[in-house]
Amino acid sequence: MSSPFLSVENLSKSFGGVQAVSQVSFELEENKVLGVIGPNGAGKTTLINLLTGFVRPDTGKVLFKGQNLAGLRPYKIANLGVARTFQMVKPFYQLPAFKNLVLPLRSPRARHLIGGRYGDLDAVAKDLLEEVGFERDSWVIYKHASVLPHGYLKRLELARCIALSPELIVLDELFSGLSLAEVASLVPVIDKLKVQGKTIIMVEHRLRELFRIADQVVVMNFGQKIADGKPKEVMEQQSVREAYLGSEEEEGGDA
Amino acid sequence: MLQGVLIYGFVNSVMLVLVAMGFNLTFGISGVANFAYGALYIMAGFTCWGLLNSLGLPYWLAAALSVAATALLAGLLFRFVLLRVRGLVISEVIATFGVGLAILELFRYFGFIGFEYTLPVWLDASFDVGETVVDAQRLLIVAVGALLTLFLWVFTRYTRTGRAFRGIAQDERTALTLGINADMVSAYAVAFGAGYAALAALVILPLGTIAVNEGYDVLVNALAVCIVGGLGSTVGVIVAGFLIGFAQVFTASYGETHWMMIVSLAALLIILLIKPSGLFGKQKELEERI
Amino acid sequence: MAKRLERLDRGIKVRSDDIFALNSWREMLYIIAPRVLPVLLLLVVGVWASTYWQRVIMQVCMIGLLAISWDLLAAVGMVSLGQALFFGIGAYIAGVLNHYLGMSPWLTIPLATVGGAAVCTFLLLPVLRLRGIYFSMVTLILPLMIERIIEATKVFGGTEGLSGIESLPQGMTELIAAMVVVWIALFSFTRMMNSDYGLILKGINDNDRAVMSAGLNIYYYKAQALFLSSGVAAFAGAFITHAYQFVGMPVFALDYSILPIAAAAVGGMGTLAGPLLGCFILVPMNELLRGLGGMRTVIYALLLVVFTVGLPEGIFHYIKRKYTQFERWVEVDS
């Protein structure tokens, strides 16, 4: 019986007096999409930071293919095959989109898997951009990232992630700030990643779009995991409803 | 002999803490590393000297005016120089450094060097502490140091401005949303730290002459104590000040005087090896910034 | 009718972009002139100058190395307030090796360069993990501390320093060598910063979390930049030691830390050529204003502040902009 692809065990982190993440555990099988949802402040972004090495956990383990990622530095984790996007997009604004991809393409992992000498990287970068929805040979590839609309910046984030040829992709609110049409155009991209064998974790607020693609959903509230299972089952749980909508006792005054 | 070493070690430690506290304050609250600190220290000394000797003002008035003038100048420095480059670390560093340098070298150029540039001691007397003879000025330094630390503690807990200081130190953006004018508070923080430096200068400088080079030494010492203790941590500065202060006096008494600077350097290097952010440092490593 | 200022690339710049420069002599000249002219100019001035001014030009080159290395570090996000540290360590290594072990400059200078780089990188390794301000603070106080310690412990000649150091081949050779090194440093660093490697370094300054999440070990890259920069500065120190046949406490003086920063502020940070330009202006000015004594430092300090706050762009950026773009007023549609 081989160990699960990703196994999070009793992960906890507190900042000063605030318990941001408390004893969170879950398992994820390979090539599945996991959604992480919960109200604001539930600890979702901290969870991602813990998984990807940007924050050191107080206790707990993050077992990725049997190896414990807890305590490793972000770049080591990235090179092991776990890539992430940021909720607040962080591109290099002074560089054109395809130049933005140069950095992940120069990582040890990408160099090992994709190869390519100095000149070839530009072509690889442009292919990657096309995969996430940048129109080939259009201005969006060549102008500085500072003039790109929000939708393209999000795609650029995703492209930077994919450039690492990761096995596990962690997306922090990829759909936030996007129109329905933009979200609809990104869903096929995520499907394609799944077809390619990748495993994906998505933190999202936009539940309808998420539930169409997620195989498994974990719900967090106040730093704890309150539900874990298939999307439909999870949404029927009382505790989840209360987390989002409040319980009947809380609804005072006019109904 | 041992008692003397302990007492002088104590005094030296308080001096170091006094000197470092202002710099630490400014940085902890507003994130501004005021490299003009040493210059402001010396300027306070010269201002007081000028007020005493040219205008013949009474000591307490000259002192109060010097502190106020230094604090005011620092606040203006923030408002007119630093604000324009706020957030750009490179420019902030260079700007404060440049100003400090200009002030110190200006004093040197205009010939403010010599034995006539001294501030009178508060009380020309000595007291017996146990078997050791300690002069009144050194006792004053200890008293002032204790008072200022206590004042700081009370100020940051019980006054509005003080609490605003702590708010900004914790999270500037949140403080902004709570109606705290971060720029004003930062200006106060810079002025406050400079005022602290001025007070320290006024009690410490009477021990010798007002020397321009001491401006650099003060900056070096303040930085060393802050780095060892942890930037932004008051407790750290106190602990580090005492550690280095006693170590310096011990080496001076049982070893050689000129090893004192080596003690500071050694403390610095050791801290960098073991815990670079300082003993009580709250500076998280790069990753943990959100 | 409202107007706005529009900046467009000059025709010749566009025509000489990339391989199209081979179109005609004029385009090629446009590209080559700014690179070759300064080199030739410096050479000519150097050859015709008096011995005194030849020394000054050599100083310009060495301070230029300090400025270029400072700019490299600043581009990665590390603001050094103590180039004197690297300079002094290089100077002392060369001086000590020559004075006590009798090694020739051909040995001491390379050893000082590499050894100095190694020592400085090792020394500053712990602060690379912390916020940038720590780097500035530590680089500021280390040379000052070392200066005091040398004075106190009288090691390596103490306040009197080590004299009688072997000199370099005299006159023209020394000067040409200095120039060659500066141009090599400038052009190779510029190429480096324009390559993908430079992109990574600049990325670290811009957004280190993004660089880390891209799988790159930022500390390793920072250490590399530190090694390169301190090596170049150490070289300058070693060279000066042999040129003046003396090494002493003053090599750790604040002047060697301030001048590169002032040059960068005046000439334009981030361009590598800008700081060098700043040196061409400030070092001779330093010599000419010798009569003013201590006032010079005041002037530099003030220049520093004025340029940093008022004209952060620097002279080089301005010149470059004028060379590659032209401006015109256009009417704005209301």
> CATH number, domain at C80?
1.10.3470
In a domain, B257, yes or no: yes
Report pLDDT for B168. 67
- 3-state DSSP call for residue A13? strand
> CATH number, domain at B189?
1.10.3470
CB-nearest to B93 from C136, C144, C146 is: C136
In a domain, B288, yes or no: no
* Best C83, C135, C148, C295 residue to mutate vs chain B (most B CBs within 10 Å): C148
Report pLDDT for C17. 74
The gap between the terminal CA atoms of chain B, to the nearest Å, is 53
Q: Write out the residue range of the structural domain in which residue C254 sits.
A: 3-331
Q: Write out the residue range of the structural domain in which residue B276 sits.
A: 2-283
Contacts C293 to B, Cβ<8 Å: 109
C216/A91 Cβ within 8 A: no
Between residues 167 and 196 of chain C, which touch chain A (CB distance below 8 Å)? 195-196
C211/A106 Cβ within 8 A: no
Nearest chain A residue to B287 by CA: give it.
A54
Q: Which residues contact B151 (CB under 8 A, 6 or more apart)?
A: none
In a domain, B290, yes or no: no
Q: Indicate whether C34 pLDDT > 60.
A: yes
Q: Quote the ipTM score.
A: 0.82
In whole angstroms, give the CA distance from residue C217 to residue C128.
Answer: 12
A69 touches chain B (CB under 8 A): no
C203 touches chain A (CB under 8 A): yes
pLDDT by residue for chain B (290 residues), tens only, comes to 777 888 888 888 999 999 899 998 888 877 788 889 999 999 998 888 888 888 877 888 888 899 999 999 998 988 888 887 777 777 788 888 889 988 888 888 887 777 777 777 777 777 777 777 778 888 888 888 888 888 887 777 777 767 777 766 666 666 677 777 778 888 888 898 999 999 999 888 888 888 888 888 888 889 889 989 888 788 889 999 999 998 888 888 877 777 777 888 888 888 887 887 788 876 554 434 43
Residue A116, amino acid: G
Question: A168-172 and A82-84 as β-strands: parallel, antiparallel, unpaired?
Answer: parallel
C293 touches chain B (CB under 8 A): yes
Mean pLDDT computed over C222-246: 94
How many CB contacts within 8 angstroms connect chain A with chain B?
Answer: 10
Sign of the torsion angle spanned by Cα atoms A50, A51, A52, A57: positive
What is the domain count for chain B?
1
In whole angstroms, give the CA distance from residue C46 to residue C40.
Answer: 10
Report pLDDT for C333. 74
Mean pLDDT computed over C233-248: 92
Q: Over chain C, what is the mean pLDDT?
A: 87
* Best C194, C199, C204, C213 residue to mutate vs chain A (most A CBs within 10 Å): C213
Nearest chain B residue to C219 by CA: give it.
B286
Q: How many CB atoms lie within 10 A of CB B271?
A: 22
CB-nearest to C215 from A75, A94, A99 is: A75
Residue C317, amino acid: H
User: Is C66:C191 a contact under the CB 8 Å cutoff?
Assistant: no
pTM score, whole prediction: 0.85
Domains of chain A: 33-42+74-214+222-246 (3.40.50.300)
What is the domain count for chain C?
1
pLDDT by residue for chain A (255 residues), tens only, comes to 456 789 999 999 988 778 888 899 999 999 999 999 988 878 888 899 999 988 889 999 999 988 999 889 999 999 999 999 988 888 888 888 888 998 898 888 888 887 666 557 888 888 888 888 888 888 888 888 888 888 889 999 999 999 998 999 999 999 988 888 888 888 889 999 999 999 999 998 888 888 888 999 999 988 888 888 888 888 888 888 777 776 655 444 444
CB-nearest to B220 from C141, C208, C297 is: C141
Per-residue DSSP letter, C268 = -
